[in-house]
Amino acid sequence: MADGTLAPPGKPQDGLFSRPYAVATICFSATMFLTGFAALAVVPTLPTAARELDGVSLFPLVAGSFVAASLLGGVLGGNWADRAGARRPLAAGMALTVVTLLVAASSTTIWQLVAGRFLDGLAAGMVAVSINTAIGEAYPDRLRPRAMALMSTSWVIPSLTGPPLAGLVTEWWSWRAVFYVLAALTVLPSLALVVVVRKRAWAGGDAPVDEKAPRPALFTAAVVSVGAALGQYGVSGWSPQHGIFALGALALLAVLAPRLLPPGTWRAARGLPATVLLRGMGSGTFFTIEAFVPLMLIDARGAPAVTVGLFFTGAAVIWAAASFVQGRLLEHWPRHRLVAIGSVLLALAVAIAVVGTLPEVPRLTAGAAMLVAAAGMGVLEPSLVVLSLSHSPPGRRGYASGAMQTTMNLGQITVLGLFAAALNVGLAAGVDDMTGYALAFALLLVPGSLPLLLSGRVRAG
């Protein structure tokens, strides 16, 4: 409409790019595209950067600080979005992305690089939660699955082109150039986004605020984020020092993490708590498969790195395709049934990974687990996000999106950490590499199957 507000929802002919929603759709897609490049393209540069800065021993902290800080960014962005509308944390997150890229690019010590990655994770968490919150306010119920599918698709090109391009730039020029180029590419669209969102009324600023609802403490979120980052370092080795960090991080998460989540999350109470819990379990299962299947193929089974890289490409495409299917072809299916379907695919992926450890099967068999898991997440994740918005009234969708971001990161950290710990314990006990991987992958059946067992508890009223 001419005044920048949305037309009444529900017209059958309306789509994501129809007049009432076109500007919002373009802004959200462009933002996710840029965020994807900033998050994914720098990953191949980190080992080179750590080596040049004499910080290889701290590489687990460099790699884990992004995910850990995303937890804090999700809480901060969700809290801010509920109180002032999603447009402000969205703009702030994009501006912070540019700053963090410059901080990392100019690193003179490994600790400055860690700080840059931590701030980048903070920005990414704010952006992701702000977009989910704004989608809840900008689109009617029937368009939200399509919007979430489009957000997933916006990550495909960064997933396909970002890492190889960054690898080439690092090899031919410098790892610092990757950060500087990304900062330059992001600054102008970020400024444009700030201008656009200030003129729009679709970002949730007019939603009523529930002042009596409990808000997660930002200090608690900050402590949990730091503890999660240190936990990543703790599970990366097998020594008394690593054990102290791992136990300390586990204690922090056990005591403080529940304060960031809806009451009843750990017992899977119906509605939002169960939805939040299943987001963490599904995300943790997928990203553990994505992290350790390539490691097993390259380190233990001698698979070519280029071939393994093709599985990453295939997983990105399949995730986007599955997300498109749930948003368009299956948009009228009950969301809790799609959650069950996604969980079945995740459990099947875990089974394939276990079979892929057997010496009798072709060594690339385990790579198929990444493809099947991506299909499961393409159906599961958008469905859970849509359900979280359905379970949350206006004025509380920022809180719900922040809780979903928190459990996504906690799930990745916890499940991946437990997997690494189980693998290290097995190897320390004297089992061979493949047996250790088989036992560790088998443990993933627990978080991978929970969404199927509890799918009825996320059903929307």
The domains located in the chain, with CATH, are: 16-215 (1.20.1250.20), 265-461 (1.20.1250.20)
Highest mean pLDDT among 179-193, 256-270, 301-315, 421-435: 256-270
Sorted by sequence, the CB contacts under 8 Å of residue 245 that are 6+ apart come out as 230, 231, 233, 234
Determine which helix (DSSP H) or strand (DSSP E) holds 105, and give its type and residue range: helix 87-105
Query: With helix as H, strand as E and coil as C, how does 399-454 read?
Result: HHHHHHHHHHHHHHHHHHHHHHHHHHHHHHCCCCHHHHHHHHHHHCHHHHHHHHHC
pLDDT, position 305:
63
| Token pair listed for 330 | 């299956």
Amino acid code (one letter) for 220: T
The answer to which of 231-240, 251-260, 367-376, 445-454 has the lowest mean pLDDT is: 231-240
The confidence band for 345, taking pLDDT boundaries of 50, 70 and 90, is very high
Instruction: Give pTM, 2 decimals.
Output: 0.72
C-alpha to C-alpha distances, 416 to 122, 281, 291, 407, 450, nearest whole angstrom = 20, 11, 8, 13, 16
Instruction: Find out whether 443 and 419 touch, Cβ atoms under 8 Å.
Output: yes
Spell out the alpha helix ranges (H) of 199-334: 218-234, 240-256, 272-295, 305-324
User: Has residue 125 got a pLDDT over 80?
Assistant: yes
pLDDT, position 59:
67
The answer to which of 13-27, 106-120, 279-293, 391-405 has the lowest mean pLDDT is: 13-27
Cα–Cα distance for residue pair 190/183, rounded to 1 Å:
10
- Angle between helix axes 367-390 and 305-324 (nearest 10 degrees) is 30
User: Has residue 208 got a pLDDT over 60?
Assistant: no
Instruction: Find out whether 17 and 140 touch, Cβ atoms under 8 Å.
Output: no
How do residues 71-82 score in pLDDT, each as one tens digit?
Answer: 888 888 888 887
Sorted by sequence, the CB contacts under 8 Å of residue 362 that are 6+ apart come out as none
Highest mean pLDDT among 9-13, 14-18, 72-76: 72-76
Cα–Cα distance for residue pair 275/455, rounded to 1 Å:
9
C-alpha to C-alpha distances, 45 to 36, 76, 179, nearest whole angstrom = 15, 28, 9
Query: Is the backbone of residue 304 left (phi > 0), alpha (psi -120 to 50) or beta?
Result: beta
Residue among 97, 104, 100 nearest 177 (CA):
104
Give CA 269 to chain center in angstroms.
23
Instruction: Give me the mean pLDDT over the 448-456 stretch.
Output: 87
pLDDT, position 236:
61
| Token pair listed for 375 | 């299909």
